[in-house]
């Protein structure tokens, strides 16, 4: 069966820490970082290596700062 491997890159300096991505991720891949960015927000980071590239986080991210990659392995 084909399996999807996902990967995301977040432009953390533009993150506003709204947590919409975190809430929308079915895999619990994301969380807020303990550190803050230039703007003073705790930013979203990947905390588990289980992303499937489902796109949810990118769709809901208001700032449009999540790039999503997806590789299907047969």
Partner 1 sequence: MTNPISINEVPVNPEIIQDEYLIYKKPSTLTDKPFHYCPGCGHSTVHKLLMELVEEIGIQSDIIGVAPVGCSVFAYDYMDIDMQEAAHGRALAVATGVRRMLPDKYVFTYQGDGDLAAIGTAETIHAANRGENILCIFINNGVYGMTSGQMAPTTLAGMVSTTSPFGRDVKTQGYPLKIGELLSLLPGVAYVTRQSVHTPTNVRKTKKALKQALEYQKQGLGFCMVEVVSNCPSNWKMTPLESLKFVEEKMIPFYPLGDLKVPGGK
Residue numbers at the binding site for partner 1 (CB under 8 A)? 5-9, 14, 16-20, 22-24, 31-34, 41-42, 45-49, 53, 55-56, 58-71
The entry of ligand SF4, partner 1, none that residue 4 binds, CB within 5 to 8 Å by partner kind: none
- Binding map of ligand SF4 across residues 51-70, x = CB under 6 A, - = no contact: xxxxxxx---x-x-xx-x--
Q: Which does 10 bind (CB under 5 to 8 A by kind): partner 1, ligand SF4, none?
A: ligand SF4
Pair 38, 14: CB distance under 8 Å = no
Cα separation, 8 vs 55, whole angstroms: 9
Going by their DSSP bridges, the two strands 66-73 and 3-10 should be labelled as antiparallel
Q: Could you identify the residue written with the tokens 């999807």?
A: 4
* CA–CA distance, 6 with 16 (Å, rounded to integer): 23
Shortest Å distance, C-beta 61 to partner 1: 8
């Amino acid at each position: 069966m084909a399996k999807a491997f996902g990967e995301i890159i977040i432009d953390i300096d533009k993150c506003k820490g709204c947590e919409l991505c975190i809430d929308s991720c079915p895999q619990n891949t994301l969380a807020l970082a303990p550190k803050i960015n230039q703007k003073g927000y705790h930013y979203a980071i990947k905390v588990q290596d289980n992303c499937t590239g489902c796109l949810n986080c990118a769709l809901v991210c208001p700032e449009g700062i999540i790039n999503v990659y997806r590789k299907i392995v047969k």
